[in-house]
Amino acid sequence: MPLKEFIPENIWNNMPNKYCTVQQAFNNPMSVQLQTATRYCPRHLLSQFLTTNGTKDTWIWCPTANGIFSTKYVRSLLAPANSQQWTVLWSPHIPLKWSVLLWHLILNSIPVDETVKEKGVPLTSKCSCCPQPQEESTLHLFFRSDTANQVWLELSHLLHFSNKEVSAVTDGVMDFLVRPKIIATTGCLVRCTFMAALWEIWCSRNKARFQDQKMTAKHIINRTMLSIRAICISFKFKKVPQPWLAALHQTENGKENLKSITPSIVRWIMPPSGRLKLNVDGAFMMTTGRAGGGGILRDHEGNMCWAFAQAYHDLNSSLAAEAMALNDGLSICYSKGVSEILVETDSLNLLQLVTKQISSQWDLTCIMHDIAAKTLNLKAEIVHAPREANRVADCLASSSMSCPRLVIWSSWADLPTTVKDPYHLDKVGDPSIKS
C-alpha cells in the first residue's frame, strides 16, 4: 500500500524519497520514511513489521500496557472467563468464614447428607429444617426448606431476591453475587446480608444436628441482622437507607444503642508507627497434659520481626501455659534489645494477675515475679485482646506441642503452614465476627 495514503499532505510535500510502499519504508530502520510511517500509519499495518531502530532487543509482554511480565495477567489468561466472578466473594468487610462457606456452596462441597452419599457413604437422610423431614440437600437446606422459605420471605424486601427462582445452588448463588452492582452502601448491605443468612442457616442446621437445638427462621434472621449491624458500626457505613435502618431496629439518632449489641467485628490492630507489638498465647490439653506456648512480634505495618514456639512440661493448667508463653516472649525481647513494646494476650485471667487485680496462685508466684520484673525493664504495656484478634499467636501455641525445644523464626516464610494464613490475614486487616 502506498505510504502516501496515511501521511498528512503538509508532511508529505516536504518528505524526500516519498514514493515508496509501507513495506519499503521498513527496509532502512533509520530512514525518514520509517519514522514518518510509525507516526502516522495504523497500528495493524505496522504490526506486520519488526524494527529495532538501533536499540537493544527487549522482551515485550503483550497482555500488559507497559510490556512488563506479570503473573497476575498470566492468571487472567489461564483462568476461565467467569473466574472474575469469584472476586465478589472476598471483601474487607465480609468475614472470611462467610466467604469460605459460599465458596464451598458454589463448588458443591458442603457436607450435607446428599453430598456425603455421593461420596459413597451410605446413610439415611433426614433434614433438620422442616416439621416433616425430607432428604437433606444443599438446595433443600438453603433455599427450599420450610425454614429457608421463611428466612428469604422475611428478607425479600431488602434483598429483592426470591429463593423460588433458584433451581441450582451454584448458579443461584453466583447469579445473585454478580448481578448489576447496587450503589455504594446498599450494594454492600445486600451482599453481606445474603451471605450472613446462608451462614446462619448452616450454623443453625449444625446446632440442630449435633446439639439438638431446633432450627427457627426467627433465630436465623435475628442473628443475621445482628451481624449486619456489627458490620455497619465497625466499618462506619454512611447513608444507610431507611428500609435497612428499620430492619436493623435503628434510627439515624440511635447509634448509641447499636454499639452495645453483639456480635461485633474484631481484627488485629497494628501498633502505632515506631512501636512493636508482641502477641502471645498458650495451649494446654487436659486429656494428655501436653502444653506449649507461642508468640509473634510485629511492627506498625504488620511485618513480622520474629516469632517463637516452645513445648512445656509438667504444667497443670492453661493459665500456666499462658504465663510461660508471656514470660518467654518478654525474655526474647530482652535478649534482642527490644523495649517499649505493646503486649497482647487473650487470657483475661493472666492480665488480671499481671496487673495484680487478683491474687496469684502459689504455683505461679515465681513466674509472675519474673514477668513483673521483665515488664518493668522493657517498659512493656500488657493489654487484653479477643481471641479472634490473637489468632497468629493461637496457631503458634497449637503448633508448639510438636517442638522439642524453643524455636525462633526470623522470617514469615519459615513459619509453620498453619500460621502463615492467619499472619497474612492479620496483615491485610481481615475481620472476624465475635459473637
Q: What is residue 332's predicted lDDT score, i.e. its pLDDT?
A: 96
How far the first Cα of the chain sits from its last, in Å, is 73
**Whole-number Å distance between alpha carbons of 130 and 426:** 40
Q: What is residue 82's predicted lDDT score, i.e. its pLDDT?
A: 56
What mean pLDDT, rounded, does the chain reach? 85
Q: What is residue 257's predicted lDDT score, i.e. its pLDDT?
A: 42
Q: How many CB atoms lie within 10 A of CB 280?
A: 31
**Whole-number Å distance between alpha carbons of 249 and 266:** 22
Q: Name 264's bridge partners.
A: 434
Q: What is residue 251's predicted lDDT score, i.e. its pLDDT?
A: 36
Q: What is residue 314's predicted lDDT score, i.e. its pLDDT?
A: 85
Q: Name 292's bridge partners.
A: 283, 311
Cell matching residue 31: 530512514
Q: Which of 312, 319, 308 is nearest to 368 (CA)?
A: 319
Q: What is residue 280's predicted lDDT score, i.e. its pLDDT?
A: 97
pLDDT for residue 322 is more than 90: yes
**Whole-number Å distance between alpha carbons of 329 and 182:** 48
Q: Do 30 and 51 touch, CB atoms closer than 8 A?
A: no
pLDDT tens for 12-57 read 788 777 677 767 766 666 677 777 777 777 766 666 665 555 667 7
Q: What is residue 51's predicted lDDT score, i.e. its pLDDT?
A: 53
Concatenated DSSP letters for 132-155?
S-----HHIIIIISHHHHHHHHHH
361 or 374: which leads in pLDDT? 374
The residue whose grid cell reads 510502499 is 21
pLDDT tens for 232-245 read 877 777 777 888 88
Q: What is residue 58's predicted lDDT score, i.e. its pLDDT?
A: 76
Read off the pLDDT band of 148 (50, 70, 90): very high
Q: Do 291 and 401 touch, CB atoms closer than 8 A?
A: yes
Helix (H) or strand (E) run with residue 307 in it: strand 304-312
Most confident of 70-79, 158-167, 256-265, 352-361: 158-167
Phi then psi dihedrals of residue 343, to 5 deg: -120, 130
pLDDT for residue 261 is more than 60: no
Domains of the chain are 3-46 (no CATH), 90-266 (no CATH), 276-434 (3.30.420.10)
**Whole-number Å distance between alpha carbons of 237 and 188:** 9
Q: What percent of the chain has pLDDT over 70?
A: 88
Helix (H, G, I), strand (E, B) or coil at 255: helix
Q: What is residue 250's predicted lDDT score, i.e. its pLDDT?
A: 46
Q: What is residue 63's predicted lDDT score, i.e. its pLDDT?
A: 76
193-211 mean pLDDT: 94
Q: What is residue 277's predicted lDDT score, i.e. its pLDDT?
A: 96
**Whole-number Å distance between alpha carbons of 338 and 303:** 15
Read off the pLDDT band of 432 (50, 70, 90): confident
190 or 40: which leads in pLDDT? 190
Read off the pLDDT band of 348 (50, 70, 90): very high
Q: What is residue 252's predicted lDDT score, i.e. its pLDDT?
A: 40
Q: Do 86 and 77 touch, CB atoms closer than 8 A?
A: no
Q: What percent of the chain has pLDDT over 90?
A: 47
pLDDT for residue 253 is more than 60: no
pLDDT for residue 147 is more than 90: yes
**What's this model's pTM, rounded to 2 decimal places?**
0.58
280 or 361: which leads in pLDDT? 280
Helix (H, G, I), strand (E, B) or coil at 356: coil
pLDDT for residue 316 is more than 50: yes
Q: What is residue 83's predicted lDDT score, i.e. its pLDDT?
A: 58
Read off the pLDDT band of 9 (50, 70, 90): confident
| Helix locations, 211-241, DSSP H | 217-234
Q: What is residue 89's predicted lDDT score, i.e. its pLDDT?
A: 81
Q: What is residue 102's predicted lDDT score, i.e. its pLDDT?
A: 93
Q: What is residue 287's predicted lDDT score, i.e. its pLDDT?
A: 83
pLDDT for residue 260 is more than 50: no
Evaluated on CA atoms 128, 130, 134, 136, the torsion sign reads negative
Cell matching residue 373: 520484673
pLDDT for residue 153 is more than 80: yes
pLDDT tens for 103-146 read 999 999 999 999 999 988 988 899 999 999 999 999 999 999 99
391-405 mean pLDDT: 92
Q: What is residue 406's predicted lDDT score, i.e. its pLDDT?
A: 93
**Whole-number Å distance between alpha carbons of 149 and 118:** 26
pLDDT for residue 289 is more than 90: no
**Whole-number Å distance between alpha carbons of 226 and 224:** 5
